[in-house]
Amino acid sequence: MSPAADPTPPGLNPLAWRLAERIAQEGPITAADYMTACLHDPEHGYYATRPRLGAEGDFITAPLVSQMFGEMLGAWVAEVWVRLGQPAPFRLVEVGPGDGTLMSDMLRVLARAPGLLAAAELWLVESSQPLRARQAERLAGHAPQWAGRLSEVPAGAPMILLANELLDCLPVRQFLRTSAGWAERRVGLDAEGRLAFGLAPTPPDFRPPPGLDQPPEGVIVELSPAQAAFGTVIGARIARDGGAALLIDYGRAAPEPGDTLQALVAHQKVDPLACPGEADLTVHADFSTVAAAARQAGADTAPILGQGEFLLRLGVEHRAAALAQARPDLAERIGRQLARLVDPDQMGALFKVLAIHQNGHPVPGFEA
């Protein structure tokens, strides 16, 4: 890695240029800092400026595959609320609500639970201004309130929290096992001044993930202090005020090695360093770390389930059958959507569900 060559190499986009200048001055940056800049840089970050969700955009999520997803989660929330003793008020929190589809599908179901909506205070934790605007449009009439981070949602009442495909946006640091021990994988500059991966010494407090302390040479492991911190905040809030949380994402249920940094433009994988801020940049959720952090903070967690198994336990195939009966002309499409959500070779197995709950209050779908 060498300082940026002069003049600027052609083809650097504005954020790449800015990062190249920063790296030339400060040295290579961690994968986590790179991710944060790509997603949230106020002028050029993907979510801050140009989030494109959906079939016409860069990536698709379960609520955008089918209304059944949000409806099942709505039924889950209603049952949790009853099991908690119908607390009023309670905070209904979604973190990273995207275009608001998931919450709007959930609210349709929640409206049928007597007293629930009157007791619910709706909070949306969202960093992206363009997405806040779309949420405001879609959820007009439900008086949502917004927060930039979960800790800004006032404590003092039970919380039922949902987050779909949020953990995969929370940045990771990456570490490579070399013949000489561990090194941190960082983003620096190549001889032409373009962004390139390189290696730097590990920080003094570096500890490899449990079970991965002596992997073969060439193996990359990821650590996400941000995902762990999210588990801590949720766990502490639930331990204090009561409630439950459901986190759904693609990722691993137990520590596993691997570089999972992935950039998508128009549903196609692109080089994560090629066009910073123009691609959605994600990593695999590290569920065991999030769960351990939540337990450490005083809450309980349920065994992690695949999304397919979870939705089937909640009865998604009955919902699909009812929808198909009401619209026989759409039956085939509904069948395809169901398969997409639950089949193990589609979203059913790679996507996982972590429930965090108040001690002594197990949540639906996770009973043995």
Q: Which residues bind ligand SAH (CB under 6 A)?
A: 47, 51, 53, 61, 63-64, 96-98, 102, 125-128, 131, 164-166, 169
Whichever of 59 and 358 has its CB closer to ligand SAH, that residue is 59
Task: Please state the closest distance from residue 177 (CB atom) to ligand SAH, in A.
Answer: 29
Q: How far is the CB of 216 from ligand SAH (least distance, A)?
A: 33
Tokens of 132: 């806040």
DSSP 3-state of 174: strand
Judged by CB, which is closer to ligand SAH: 66, or 358?
66
Rank residues 53 and 338 by Cβ distance to ligand SAH and give the closer one.
53
CA–CA dist 160, 249 (Å, integer): 18
Integer Cα distance of 366 and 76 in angstroms: 11
Of the pair 165, 278, the CB lying nearest ligand SAH is at 165
Nearest CB to ligand SAH, comparing residues 97 and 364: 97
Nearer to ligand SAH, 97 or 209 (CB): 97
* Phi, psi (deg, nearest 5) at residue 314: -80, -10
Residue matched to tokens 């589809």: 101
Question: Element (H or E) spanning 282, and its range?
Answer: strand 280-282
Query: Shortest Cβ distance from residue 146 to ligand SAH (Å)?
Result: 10
Q: Is 311 exposed, middle or buried (0-12, 13-18, 19+ CB in 10 A)?
A: buried
Rounded Cα distance between 25 and 28, Å, is 9
Q: Which residues contact 182 (CB under 8 A, 6 or more apart)?
A: 175, 176, 202, 206, 208
Q: How far is the CB of 117 from ligand SAH (least distance, A)?
A: 21
The CA-based angle 199-201-206, given to 5 degrees, is: 115
Minimum CB separation from ligand SAH for residue 180, in Å? 35
d(CA 9, CA 190): 11
Nearer to ligand SAH, 64 or 84 (CB): 64
Please, are residues 241 and 157 in contact by the beta-carbon 8 Å criterion? yes
Q: Which is nearer to ligand SAH, 164 or 307 (CB)?
A: 164
* Distance of closest approach, residue 49 Cβ to ligand SAH, in angstroms: 11
Other residues' Cβ atoms within 10 Å of the Cβ of residue 99:
21
Nearest distance, CB of residue 241 and ligand SAH, angstroms: 20
Least distance to ligand SAH, CB of residue 93, Å: 11
- Nearest residue (CB) to ligand SAH, 148 versus 315: 148
By C-beta, is 35 or 84 nearer to ligand SAH?
Answer: 35
Cβ 329 to ligand SAH shortest distance, Å: 26
181-184, long-range: CB within 8 Å, 24+ apart, which pairs? 182/206, 182/208, 184/30
String of DSSP letters for 218-273: T-EEEE-HHHHHHHHHHHHHHHHH-EEEEEEEEEESS-------EEEETTEEE-TT
Q: Which amino acid is at 156?
A: G
Closest distance to ligand SAH from the beta carbon of 320 (Å): 19
